[in-house]
């Protein structure tokens, strides 16, 4: 067995590569494309390894039993997993075909060359194509992890700018999303949800249900799970609204309403120290001791982040067909294989009786409502067999019922010696789990991670997740700083009995941890009378980290960032998970008379290892910056005992086009080096850079997100 996880579980070339008869190559992958352009990157890699044009490469959408099982598309791991697997599988296949061609053409393999899939002998000029060799054949060979792959000087496509796969269809409006599915005999379903998680259904209006039945509207009820089903989508939507208005609910005690940030640090919790390398250890937490004798100045701070939602622009949807005791599910979730396991458990079905296929939908970068909507569709399909069911969540469903990114608190204390060096460092982070995906192999039941399993007649218990013990996972992602601090005290606090359902949102705990660390670094730099850039460099010996910070500083100085009147600029840095992309971010802001933060300019410098798709990488980094700026300035899930109150874009505002900064991104290409995951690299540094820029502009260091006008006015008054 090899050392690569995706190849370990899928060792055959045929599981990754397929030659089809029309002169095209089809790549199989377990990673889904949710807008991050992984399909484009994989096609570029394969094009170079095969010596074929990029346009000949297609990337198949992932389905169970057909494509590799690579778990979830998450953690900025797609290039390390699928990217490397496709490179090795393609190189193995090419080598195999060259040997086969040499035998068929009766020539020396050393004299063969390939041009766009045509294998030709330099000596005899005889030729054969890949497709002639492989027509109706399989490779039946293992991926060779020791195969020679192309060197950077041989690249024709890797690192170049190309039109992304599916981009023409996206731009022309011809791409079909899951919401657009139209199957023969299809019915449309809408949900009637309780006011909040703990409420249970008392009764529905039987007269209304009877009246709806005359209009060919069916009601599917299983405990407190209620769906309205009709052949016409508009009729289903209207009927669901009518039924919701008449439904009677037992509200129980409602959601807990203890002040959130107080609850985060006072509720029952599991506390674990973080060892060097970023993993928790099952040992007592060391007390926050006295300051070092070398300390000449000490600084402490507390940072608070509310619940964030994924904010998918289109609400989640799922489609399902239950026929002859077999279930087919179409979903835009990020892991078709884990979802199949969760559904099999929840529905008490055999795995082989469930087929799950990815269809594009609203991207989310985390665990939004896609898994839940797919399960909802499956429940309805089981109740109405033989009919495809397309079930769409409403905007209110999405805002009120998706699993959020946990609220967090970070408490930091550090001291400097007389030379401005950190001599002690303490960082405790508090938050709920970030690991609520329906994943087999993790603690608890995969089925209990699906929302509607808690609403059915025989509800599953809400999961209580144990602390994750891997390095840089969940609450403690990027809790360990990359900076050189002597014996840092790092503590993860997994908090219990918090009010809202949570799971994975882009970066997990890293957004809070990096934002807090990088704001605190500026505070310490000021306390030591050292520039923020110099202070960071003084505590780094990682050359790549140093390179991105210096490059950012040089760029911002040359462009006179933060030097205009009423404008401030700030920087921040992190290496995502201390193992992925190095990213330094600079932000320039202005605070208006209305106390609004106006984003003027932004700079990103990133080292993501070898750059395969520069436009895609740039889009990932810039998209991460925009999303993180929105979290920092505007976003906050609100609730009371009666349920979620931020149920639309007015009550849950996000960053709009009129406040997108002008962004310049610099990629430090490291051709030939390993891929470093980049999808989440810019988010944490963006939060820290904005905090520092606001302070630079108006002298207020804000501690509780979002930094909206109310927060700024409150800070100014206090």
Opening angle at CA 568, ends 566 and 573, nearest 5: 170
- On the question of pLDDT at 2 being above 70, the answer is no
Domain identity same for 191 and 132: no
Flag whether 45 is in a domain: yes
Condensed to tens digits (0 to 9), the pLDDT of residues 174-190 reads: 999 999 999 999 999 99
Give bridge partners of residue 502 from the DSSP assignment. Answer: 404
Flag whether 21 is in a domain: yes
Opening angle at CA 427, ends 534 and 572, nearest 5: 35
- Whether the bond between 706 and the residue before it is cis, its omega within 30 degrees of 0, is yes
Domain boundary among 145, 172, 199: 172
Domain identity same for 20 and 114: yes
Condensed to tens digits (0 to 9), the pLDDT of residues 391-402 reads: 999 999 999 999
Domain identity same for 136 and 228: no
Coil, strand or helix at 328: strand
Region 459-465: mean pLDDT is: 94
Instruction: Give the pLDDT of residue 325.
Output: 97
Flag whether 634 is in a domain: yes
Provide the number of structural domains found in the chain. 3
What DSSP string describes 129-152?
Answer: EHHHHHTT-----B--TTPPPPPG
pTM reported for the whole predicted model: 0.96
Domain identity same for 98 and 193: no
Flag whether 369 is in a domain: yes
Domain boundary among 115, 150, 172: 172
Condensed to tens digits (0 to 9), the pLDDT of residues 261-316 reads: 999 999 999 999 999 999 999 999 999 999 889 999 999 999 999 999 999 999 99
Domain identity same for 387 and 528: no
Domain identity same for 500 and 479: yes
Flag whether 266 is in a domain: no
Domain boundary among 380, 401, 422: 401
Q: Output DSSP code: residue 31.
A: -
Domain identity same for 369 and 488: no
Q: How far apart are CA 380 and CA 321, in angstroms?
A: 9
- The residue ranges of DSSP E strands in 204-325, in sequence order, are 218-222, 225-230, 248-250, 269-273, 297-305, 317-323
Q: How far apart are CA 657 and CA 6, in angstroms?
A: 39
Instruction: Give the pLDDT of residue 226.
Output: 98
Strand order in the sheet with 297-305: 269-273, 489-495, 422-431, 408-416, 297-305
Q: How far apart are CA 486 and CA 682, in angstroms?
A: 27
What DSSP string describes 266-287?
Answer: HS-EEEEEBPTTS-B-SSPPPP
Coil, strand or helix at 450: coil
Flag whether 39 is in a domain: yes
Least confident of 197-201, 336-340, 365-369: 365-369
Tokens at residue 423, please? 């001599």
Domain identity same for 64 and 160: yes
Instruction: Give the pLDDT of residue 364.
Output: 73
- On the question of pLDDT at 1 being above 50, the answer is no
Q: How far apart are CA 341 and CA 438, in angstroms?
A: 8
Write out the H or E segment, with its range, that includes residue 466. none
- The residue ranges of DSSP E strands in 183-280, in sequence order, are 187-192, 200-203, 218-222, 225-230, 248-250, 269-273
Task: Check: CB of residue 68 under 8 Å from CB of residue 29.
Answer: yes
CATH number at residue 130: 3.30.365.10
Tokens at residue 439, please? 């994943």
Q: How far apart are CA 612 and CA 162, in angstroms?
A: 11
How many percent of the chain have pLDDT more than 70? Answer: 100
Q: How far apart are CA 507 and CA 505, in angstroms?
A: 6
Condensed to tens digits (0 to 9), the pLDDT of residues 33-82 reads: 988 899 999 999 999 999 999 999 999 999 999 999 998 888 778 888 89
Write out the H or E segment, with its range, that includes residue 649. none
Coil, strand or helix at 239: helix
Task: Check: CB of residue 712 under 8 Å from CB of residue 591.
Answer: yes
Instruction: Give the pLDDT of residue 637.
Output: 98
Q: Output DSSP code: residue 403.
A: P
Instruction: Give the structural domain span for 17.
Output: 5-172
Residues 6+ apart with CB under 8 A from 490: 273, 274, 426, 427, 428, 476, 479, 480
Flag whether 306 is in a domain: no
Measured in whole angstroms, the distance separating CA 414 from the mean position of its chain's CA atoms is 32
Flag whether 299 is in a domain: no
Coil, strand or helix at 716: helix
Instruction: Give the pLDDT of residue 285.
Output: 97
Domain identity same for 328 and 424: no
Condensed to tens digits (0 to 9), the pLDDT of residues 107-138 reads: 999 999 999 999 999 889 899 999 999 988 89
Domain identity same for 60 and 147: yes
| Cα dihedral value 178, 181, 187, 189, nearest 10 | 20
Domain identity same for 543 and 635: yes
Q: How far apart are CA 383 and CA 229, in angstroms?
A: 11
Domain identity same for 139 and 202: no
């Amino acid at each position: 067995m090899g050392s690569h996880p995706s190849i370990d579980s899928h060792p055959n070339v045929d599981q990754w590569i397929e030659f089809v008869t029309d002169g095209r190559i089809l790549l199989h992958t377990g990673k889904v494309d949710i807008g991050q352009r992984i399909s484009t990157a994989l096609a570029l890699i394969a094009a170079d390894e095969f010596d074929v044009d990029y346009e000949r490469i297609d990337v198949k959408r992932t389905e169970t039993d057909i494509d590799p099982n690579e778990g979830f598309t998450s953690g900025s791991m797609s290039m390390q997993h699928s990217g490397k697997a496709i490179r090795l599988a393609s190189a193995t296949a090419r080598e195999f075909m060259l040997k086969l061609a040499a035998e068929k053409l009766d020539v020396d393999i050393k004299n063969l060359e390939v041009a766009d899939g045509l294998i030709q002998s330099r000596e005899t000029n005889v030729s054969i194509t890949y497709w002639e060799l492989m027509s109706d054949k399989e490779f039946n060979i293992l991926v060779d992890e020791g195969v020679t792959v192309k060197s950077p000087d041989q690249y024709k496509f890797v690192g170049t700018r190309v039109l992304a796969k599916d981009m023409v269809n996206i731009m022309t409006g011809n791409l079909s999303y899951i919401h657009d599915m139209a199957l023969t005999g299809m019915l449309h379903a809408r949900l009637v949800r309780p006011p909040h998680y703990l409420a249970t259904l008392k009764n529905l209006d039987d007269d209304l249900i009877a009246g709806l039945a005359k209009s060919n509207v069916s009601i599917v009820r299983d405990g407190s799970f209620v769906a309205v089903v009709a052949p016409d989508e508009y009729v289903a939507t209207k009927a669901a609204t009518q039924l919701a208005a008449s439904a009677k609910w037992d509200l129980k005690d409602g959601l807990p309403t203890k002040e959130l940030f107080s609850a985060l640090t006072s509720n029952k919790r599991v506390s674990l120290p973080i060892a060097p390398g970023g993993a928790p250890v099952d040992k007592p937490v060391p007390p926050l001791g006295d300051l070092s004798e070398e300390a000449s100045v000490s600084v402490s701070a507390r940072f608070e982040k509310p619940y964030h939602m994924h904010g998918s622009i289109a609400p989640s949807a799922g489609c399902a067909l239950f026929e002859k005791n077999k279930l087919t599910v179409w979903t835009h979730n990020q892991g078709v294989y884990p979802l199949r396991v969760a559904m099999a458990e929840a529905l008490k079905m055999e795995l082989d009786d469930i087929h799950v296929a990815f269809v594009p939908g609203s991207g989310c970068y985390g665990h939004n409502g896609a898994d839940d909507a797919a399960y909802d569709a499956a429940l309805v399909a089981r109740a109405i067999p033989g009919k495809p069911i397309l079930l769409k969540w409403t905007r209110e469903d999405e805002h009120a019922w998706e699993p959020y990114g946990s609220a967090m608190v970070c408490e930091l204390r550090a001291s400097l010696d007389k030379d401005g060096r950190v001599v002690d460092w303490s960082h405790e982070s508090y938050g709920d789990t970030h690991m609520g995906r329906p994943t087999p192999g993790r603690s608890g039941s995969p089925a209990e991670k699906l929302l509607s399993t808690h609403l059915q007649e025989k509800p599953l218990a809400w999961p209580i997740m144990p602390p994750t013990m891997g390095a840089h996972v969940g609450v403690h992602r990027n809790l360990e700083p990359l900076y050189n601090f002597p014996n840092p005290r790092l503590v993860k606090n997994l908090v219990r009995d918090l009010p809202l359902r949570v799971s994975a949102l882009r970066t997990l705990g890293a957004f809070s941890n990096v934002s807090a660390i990088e704001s605190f670094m500026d505070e310490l730099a000021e306390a030591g009378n050292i520039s923020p850039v110099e202070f960071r460099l003084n505590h780094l010996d990682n050359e790549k980290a140093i390179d991105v910070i210096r490059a950012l500083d040089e760029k911002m100085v040359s462009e006179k960032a933060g030097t205009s009147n009423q404008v401030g600029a700030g920087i921040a840095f992190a290496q995502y998970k201390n193992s992925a992309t190095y990213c330094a971010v600079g932000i320039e802001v202005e605070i208006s008379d209305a106390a609004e933060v106006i984003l003027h300019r932004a700079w990103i410098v990133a080292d993501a290892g070898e750059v395969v798709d520069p436009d895609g990488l740039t889009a990932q980094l810039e998209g991460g910056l925009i999303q993180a700026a929105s979290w920092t300035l505007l976003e906050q899930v609100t609730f009371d005992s009666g349920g979620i109150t931020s149920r639309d874009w007015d009550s849950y505002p996000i960053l709009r086009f009129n406040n997108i900064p002008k962004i310049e991104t610099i990629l430090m290409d490291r051709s030939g080096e390993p891929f470093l995951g980049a999808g989440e690299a810019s988010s944490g540094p963006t939060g820290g850079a904005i905090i520092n820029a606001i302070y630079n502009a108006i002298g207020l260091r804000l501690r509780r997100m979002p930094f909206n006008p109310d927060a700024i006015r409150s800070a100014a008054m206090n």
